[in-house]
Amino acid sequence: MNAPSKIRLSRLALLALPLLLALPASAQQPDTAQLRRDVESSLLSLADRDALGGSDAPLTISAPAQVRYELGAVIVPRADGAPAVMAISPGGAADRMQLQVGDRLLSINGKALSGVDDPVAVLQSTAARDEGRLRLDLRRADRQLIAAGNADIVAIPAFQLVVGAAIGGGCGYVTDNDGPEPRSEQVHDARITRIDGRSTPLQPVNRHRVDAGRHVLTVSERIPRTWLSSAQAREIARMQQRKWARAYKPLVVDVKPGMKYKVGARLLRDRLDAAGIRDNAYWEPVVWAEESERCN
């Protein structure tokens, strides 16, 4: 990298710092490190290509919102074969799947892990491909076991840095208060509690204005308990009390200018058994309608 590129990179890095510091606490834990790496990676890539240009020309550096799947465990590759579980986060996916420190992971969803240099990357990509579902073949002492469950979902908000003149991209709306939801499709009421990590008003509003582009919504379900049995409703209440904020789910929405997106919660009746409720798998956030609406 030549000297001028280093100087321009330093200016952009200083612009990135306030963005990271301004993130709400929920986004900083645990995603600030990942977001910082994404910003730095974008800056370094541009600098290496000498694409930063002069300070007079507008420059936008951005990355879309991401959803990452995590096992909730420290996995370390081993030269003598399968990677080993070195630590487990209480309440995480590995804990729910009853993994133990010392377990050796043989495969994930049928993909062998022995000799893999970065088992965590393989785990994340495989879980993303299979929408968070996990089946781990493992060895514990002299026994071979199977552990199955769902990975934890972590939402990483989008970021955008603009150097120079502002670039207008239009706006749109997301709403959770524009029913009636289509009950025939098992879609029910929901609440958008956060947008890109920022809390929405406690009182429901007609709609939330957002810039055009990709956004991560945090959604809680408000499925009427009359659609459930009393036993299912009690089990859901216990699960939500235990998980609290982790009972909410992320929804990634690509907002187009002049469009409104209606958000609801789809009830998955085939996952209303005890295991499905325990894993918070009995519902999913959805955009059930898109409508044209002028936005200024």
Tally of domains in the chain: 3
From residue 226, give the alpha-carbon distance in Å to each of 129, 199, 222, 231. Answer: 34, 29, 11, 12
Task: Write down the pLDDT at residue 186.
Answer: 95
Which of 65, 91, 118 marks a domain boundary?
65
Q: What is the distance between the alpha carbons of residues 227 and 185, in angstroms, rounded to a whole number? A: 13
User: Do 47 and 87 reside in the same domain of the chain?
Assistant: no
User: Do 78 and 131 reside in the same domain of the chain?
Assistant: yes
Q: What is the distance between the alpha carbons of residues 216 and 192, in angstroms, rounded to a whole number? A: 10
Quick check: is 276 in a domain?
A: yes
From residue 267, give the alpha-carbon distance in Å to each of 67, 109, 164, 204. Answer: 21, 26, 46, 21
User: Do 178 and 270 reside in the same domain of the chain?
Assistant: yes
Task: Write down the pLDDT at residue 43.
Answer: 59
Where in the sequence is the domain holding 51, given as residue range(s)? Answer: 3-65
Which of 119, 153, 187 marks a domain boundary?
153
Which of 13, 37, 65 marks a domain boundary?
65
User: Do 44 and 127 reside in the same domain of the chain?
Assistant: no
User: Do 284 and 192 reside in the same domain of the chain?
Assistant: yes
The CA radius of gyration of the chain, in Å to the nearest whole number, is 22
Give the three-state DSSP class for 254. Answer: strand
User: Do 49 and 97 reside in the same domain of the chain?
Assistant: no
State the alpha helices, DSSP H only, in 158-282: 230-243, 274-278
Task: Write down the pLDDT at residue 67.
Answer: 79
Quick check: is 182 in a domain?
A: yes
The continuous run of DSSP H or E covering 18 comes out as: helix 3-21
Listed residue (185, 188, 164) closest to 176, CA to CA: 188
Task: Write down the pLDDT at residue 115.
Answer: 82
Listed residue (126, 249, 88, 283) closest to 135, CA to CA: 126
Q: What is the distance between the alpha carbons of residues 132 and 272, in angstroms, rounded to a whole number? A: 18
The continuous run of DSSP H or E covering 123 comes out as: helix 119-129
Read out DSSP for 129-172?
Answer: HTTTEEEEEEEETTEEEEEEEE-EEEEE--EEEEESS-----EE
Cα 222 → chain centroid: 20
Quick check: is 52 in a domain?
A: yes
User: 80: exposed, middle or buried (C-beta count within 10 Å: 0-12, 13-18, 19+)?
Assistant: exposed
Task: Write down the pLDDT at residue 166.
Answer: 41
Quick check: is 161 in a domain?
A: no
Quick check: is 45 in a domain?
A: yes
User: Do 75 and 57 reside in the same domain of the chain?
Assistant: no
Quick check: is 164 in a domain?
A: no
Quick check: is 215 in a domain?
A: yes
- Walking along the chain (296 residues) 10 residues at a time, the average pLDDT comes out as 38 38 34 60 57 51 77 87 91 92 93 87 88 91 92 77 56 91 93 88 86 90 95 94 86 92 96 92 95 91
pTM over 0.75: no
